Structure 1
Amino acid sequence: MDKTIQLVVITGMSGAGKTVAVQSFEDLGYFCIDNMPPTLLPKFWELVRESGKVNKVALVIDLRSRAFYDEIIEMLRNLGNENAINGKILFLDASNEELVARYKETRRSHPLAMEGRLMDGIKLERDLLSEIKARAQLVVDTSKLTPRQLREEIFHNFETSESAPFHIEVLSFGFKYGLPIDADIVMDVRFLPNPYYVPALKQQTGLDQAVYDYVMQSPKTAKFYQLFMKMLLEILPGYQAEGKSSVTIAIGCTGGQHRSVALAKRIADELKQSYPVSVAHRDIARRKETVNRS
């Protein structure tokens, strides 16, 4: 592979936040692997190089035994000798008191706890991980961090210009076929004039210029569009600030072929001036005869 692989090894104390960390790296566009045995890593790197498509990898490494720990140390030494890999270790830590509280809350057992004694497991793990912690380029104490704050810390340290940007999807749909379950914002535009009842427009869609013009030239549409776009431009930065990697805006009419399609297209075109945007029309090709359409 011509391009250097960016590798982050995510490790640390059990219960310190590795699950939140790997989810954050996924949102940054990393190829993430959770708890791959170190013995399988040479084959994995071979496949990565041959593919030529993966250049950001995050490995979550959890401690399971003393033998596993020794393999991890050897793996890190070997990776340090790889010229094609730019490796960093992220070590997540937390106070003993906080780890105990988290384990009590989730009722999980510690992987190294002897005879169920939680503190024994925590102390043993802390001792075994001391060398890896000393090697880490970044140590984050999550004792007083919320999941959101940990995510922000990871984004601050690892987000690059190549990271997956905040993305918006604008989706048109028909209420008669059900709400899109993954939508963050849903707007009902069935109050607007319906092109379905214009014979010349009935079999067309909101992507056809005649239907688009019919919808947009309505005074109701003009007023609604102005107010709705003002709201979107006001709230979208808030979603981004909260750590959302994407937002889906769903625009619905009765059948999902006319009004919602035209408005989704216009909204997407305007938002593209400020954000990466994709647009989809879920029900544009569906035709189901009912009394009310589109």
Structure 2
Amino acid sequence: MVKQSTTQEILIVTGMSGAGRSTVANALEDLGWYVVDNLPLAMLKTLADMADRSGGALPRIVAVVDVRGGDLFEDIQSTVESLRESAEVRVVFLDATDDILVRRYEAVRRPHPLQHSAGSLLDGIRLERERLQELRASSDVVIDTSRYNPHELSTATRELFTDEDTPGLQLSVQSFGYKYGTPTDVDLIADMRFLPNPFWETDLRALTGVDAEVKEFVMSRDGATEFLEHYVAALEPMFAGFQRENKRHVSLAVGCTGGKHRSVAMARELADRLAALPGVSVSLRHRDLGRE
């Protein structure tokens, strides 16, 4: 695991064609990096200057750079040295064995970028390797992707570039009222209509699930605490599995009739419990609160 700094960080991702640049870029984007794919090397300094003027809005940048050209090694070296005057810069080189690269290109039935000029797929790979050997030797991080499938490479990238403060799973919790429609953009829904409705309590009707009196009423009903404890216990291994499978975003909804009392109180309790799980970052909103 790489500990991130507070200064602007730039990763230049390059390497052999077919070694997994797009997979690595997608994994880094999921971690919150600002990714620019196929960036011309001449534009890298311009991008860094723009990020510097953004006032911290783009603290971490990934530039995926194709450097097959023969003269580009000197260009990238001078660019890196210039950028290092104001930012932390690392060059990440992705590699794989010739036979693995051949197998990958044959699987997708696409030509290697240098195949036409070199004469064959293997000759194109060897020509590219020859051109990039000096850059590979000088790179800060070299990742041999030969033993990885795309899923495993994505996982390895997250492990390498995730810092201690980056959540493994971003969880969105929302309350809602069934009478306004069931959310269509959520992964899981919990129905709180098995609990007595505070609406029928005269002193609670005007209050909401945010109020302590309603929370106490809802959570003291038979089955409320049992549901909460068992639901969290069921979600914990599920969320751990989602993180292992690189599912980064999960949305969970809690519903009641009007989205004012039971669902709001339970969503708040649920969000608090789930936020305590390792690697989980929770956001909470009440979709229909105040709608009546």
Q: Structure 1 length as normaliser, TM-score? A: 0.82
Task: State whether structure 2 residue 179 is matched by structure 1 residue 178.
Answer: no
Query: What does residue range 98-113 of structure 1 map to in structure 2 within 5 Å?
Result: 98-113=100-115
Picking from 35, 39, 53, the partner of 2:38 is: 35
Taking a change above 3 Å as real, the CA distance of residues 118 and 256 of structure 1, as seen in their structure-2 partners, is farther
**What secondary structure is seen at the aligned counterpart in 2 of 1:276?**
strand
Equivalent residue letter for 1:167: Q
Partner of 1:5: 8
**In 2: Cα distance, 1:263 partner to 1:42 partner:** 50
Equivalent residue letter for 1:55: P
Taking a change above 3 Å as real, the CA distance of residues 197 and 104 of structure 1, as seen in their structure-2 partners, is farther
Contact 1:180-1:250 at 8 Å conserved across structures:
no
Taking a change above 3 Å as real, the CA distance of residues 107 and 285 of structure 1, as seen in their structure-2 partners, is farther
Taking a change above 3 Å as real, the CA distance of residues 117 and 254 of structure 1, as seen in their structure-2 partners, is farther
Shift of 1:150: 1.5
**In 2: Cα distance, 1:109 partner to 1:281 partner:** 51
Shift of 1:164: 5.2
Picking from 169, 172, 177, the partner of 1:169 is: 172
Shift of 1:17: 1.3
Equivalent residue letter for 2:225: A
Query: What does residue range 145-294 of structure 1 map to in structure 2 within 5 Å?
Result: 145-163=148-166, 166-175=169-178, 176-181=180-185, 183-198=186-201, 201-274=204-277, 275-287=280-292
What percent identity do the matched residue pairs reach?
35
**In 2: Cα distance, 1:249 partner to 1:61 partner:** 38
Taking a change above 3 Å as real, the CA distance of residues 254 and 33 of structure 1, as seen in their structure-2 partners, is same
Equivalent residue letter for 1:261: V
Partner of 1:90: 92
Task: State whether structure 2 residue 150 is matched by structure 1 residue 118.
Answer: no
Contact 1:167-1:277 at 8 Å conserved across structures:
yes
Contact 1:174-1:257 at 8 Å conserved across structures:
yes
User: Unmatched 5+ residue regions in structure 1?
Assistant: 288-294
User: Unmatched 5+ residue regions in structure 2?
Assistant: 1-5
**What secondary structure is seen at the aligned counterpart in 2 of 1:52?**
coil
**What secondary structure is seen at the aligned counterpart in 2 of 1:62?**
coil
The CA deviation string for residues 208-265 of structure 1, in whole angstroms up to 9 with x for no partner, is 3343233212112122122112223344333334444443332233443332211110
Query: What does residue range 61-80 of structure 1 map to in structure 2 within 5 Å?
Result: 61-63=65-67, 66=69, 70-71=71-72, 73-80=74-81
The CA deviation string for residues 9-28 of structure 1, in whole angstroms up to 9 with x for no partner, is 11112222112211221233
**In 2: Cα distance, 1:163 partner to 1:209 partner:** 32
**What secondary structure is seen at the aligned counterpart in 2 of 1:76?**
helix
Q: Structure 2 length as normaliser, TM-score? A: 0.82
Taking a change above 3 Å as real, the CA distance of residues 220 and 138 of structure 1, as seen in their structure-2 partners, is same
Query: Alignment length, in residue pairs?
Result: 282
**In 1: Cα distance, 2:110 partner to 2:260 partner:** 50
**What secondary structure is seen at the aligned counterpart in 2 of 1:219?**
coil
